[in-house]
Structure 1
Amino acid sequence: MSVPAWLRKITDAVADTPAEHLSVFTPPADGTARPASILMLFGESNGRPDVLLTQRASSLRSHAGQVSFPGGTIDPEDDGPVDAALREGAEETGLDPAGVDVLLVLPTLWIPVTNYAVAPVLAWWREPSPVGVVDASEVESVHRIPLDHLLDPANRLQVRHPSGITGPAFRVADLLVWGFTAGLLARLFDISGIDKPWDRTRVEELSGYAAGL
């Protein structure tokens, strides 16, 4: 499988990374968390590395309006997290799974607020297909975000949730990427050694709407 050097650097670095190095939240041992998966799809546009992200519809009951990776619950009909991630990617963005090469599945992480045990599926977009909003009741917009925009120190900050929790965030393409998605991207960049120094004292308060309150 042919994978560009920049992506191989990321996959090689995170291949054996334990869950606790990717997030402070790992699934409860009692198995009560709901199985889910996300598609971390990296590609290139005109030779420029990027990642596929969606903005959730503002009408949703959970994580309304937030930027996230395509993904969702692993259904009984799915053949595990990879099958679920590719299915959700197609349903949310219209991408053609035939052009996607799955490289690895990262350790399962936990989103406490929704009690999801999430398996991140990291993949290479070997043959990119057109993408866009398929169902406006679920997804508000679909974006291919260049990695150099995410890595630009000018676009990095931390946000403080009304609960008091502070975490990394990105301002790109008129979007605020925060929460689980931003945390996973930030750890991925750090572990793979492609991160750039940024001002961690730049902290902004999340508004009630942005925080899903």
Structure 2
Amino acid sequence: MTDDGTNAPDDGLPPWLTGLVRRTEGEIPPELARYAGPAPAGARGSAVLVLFGTGARGPDLLFLRRSGSLRNYPDQVCFPGGSSAPADADHIRTALRETWEETGLDPSEVRIAGTVFPLHLGHSGFSVVPVLGWWGSGSEIAGDGEEIVSVHRVPLTELSDPAARLLVRLPDGHLSPAFLVRNVFVWGLTAALTAWLLRLGGWERPWDTDRIEDLPDVRRRYGGGPPP
């Protein structure tokens, strides 16, 4: 346990997750090239918690659906997280604090595996550090009812199902990974991170990369908010 009360890296983590973290080091992957590079001037610091757990169908990931009334990323499915606060010691603290505020998840339940290089969202001006964590079988959590309207634990086996995979064409013509699973539409930075981690972890299965849909069409069916 660290001085600030969070768990130190490699504390009670499954070996496959520590191996995954090691493989995140190196060159910028193609899935995240759109979000890499130098931070834009005046970028605002933030962090997200990419939280792995385990359920009846094996490893899963935690996703949250944001309220449609929010100014930033309304109605989008995302990882928990948000803006850094002056009192946050580091990006890990930001990710844990924001997750607690959004879902009530006690930070002591989370084991930190590591962090990933910063990623940048030009539309909103955020610079995002993904924090990879583990919470085992996890506890019962729910959205706060204001910012977060629903919580979803999605098994990696469902995310890697070829039927769940597609590419969406953004308004600028860029093709971006996306997922349609359990009537949940995951796209943007969240989907790009998910696609990369599935590939690194060996969960990815061959899928139809010619399955391309325009983002507005998918959003009309499943929601998802405006592009980043």
Could you tell me the TM-score, scaled by structure 2's length?
A: 0.85
Report deviation, 1:31.
Answer: 4.8
Determine if the alignment matches structure 1 residue 122 to structure 2 residue 132.
yes
For residues 44-86 of structure 1, the C-alpha deviation after alignment (integer angstroms, 9 at most, x for no partner) is 1136211111011111112111110001001101111000000
1:34 is aligned to 44
Query: How many equivalent pairs are there?
Result: 211
TM-aligned CA distance change 1:30 to 1:66, over 3 Å: closer
Does the Cα contact within 8 Å between 1:72 and 1:84 map onto a contact in 2? yes
Superposed CA deviations along residues 171-204 of structure 1, whole A, max 9, x for unmatched, are 1121110001001111122233331111010011
Describe the shift of the 1:22–1:33 C-alpha distance in structure 2 as closer, same or farther (beyond 3 A).
Answer: farther
Q: Answer whether contact 2:118 2:130 (CA < 8 A) is retained.
A: yes
Secondary structure at the residue paired with 1:23? Answer: helix
CA–CA distance in 1 between the matches of 2:27 and 2:92? 19
2:178·2:185 contact (CA, 8 Å) conserved in 1?
yes
How far apart in 2 are the matches of 1:157 and 1:79? 38
Summarize the Cα distance change of 1:127–1:173 in structure 2 as closer, same or farther, 3 Å threshold: closer
Q: CA deviation at 1:7?
A: 2.5
Alignment of 1:97-116 (within 5 A): 97-116=107-126
**Structure 1, gaps ≥5 residues long:** none
Contact between 1:35 and 1:74, CA under 8 Å: does it hold in 2?
yes
- Give unpaired runs (5+ residues) of structure 2: 1-10
Bigger shift: residues 41-50 or 25-34: 25-34
- CA distance, structure 1, for counterparts of residue 137 and residue 204 of structure 2: 27
Deviation at 1:117, TM superposition (A): 0.7
SS at match of 1:2: coil
| 8 Å contact from structure 1 (residues 56, 138) kept in 2 | yes
Q: Aligned partners of 2:41, 2:28: CA distance in 1, in Å?
A: 16
Summarize the alignment of residues 57-136 of structure 1 with structure 2, pairs less than 5 Å apart: 57-126=67-136, 128-134=138-144, 136=145
1:148 aligns with 157
Determine the C-alpha separation between the residues in 2 that align with 1:5 and 1:71: 25
CA distance in 2, matches of 1:92, 1:205: 30
CA-to-aligned-CA distance 1:101-146 (integer Å, 9 cap, x gap):
1010111111111111100000111462221011x22112111111
TM-score (norm 1): 0.90
The equivalences for 1:153-172 within 5 A come to 153-172=162-181
Question: Does the 8 Å contact 2:75/2:225 carry over to 1?
Answer: no
Secondary structure of the structure 1 residue equivalent to 2:172: coil
**Per-residue CA shift, 1:20-62, capped at 9, x if unaligned?**
6562122535652110000001001136211111011111112
Structure 1 partner of 2:215? 206
Contact 1:22-1:188 at 8 Å conserved across structures: no
Indicate conservation of the 8 Å contact 2:68/2:225, yes or no.
Answer: no
- Superposition RMSD on alpha carbons, in Å? 2.0
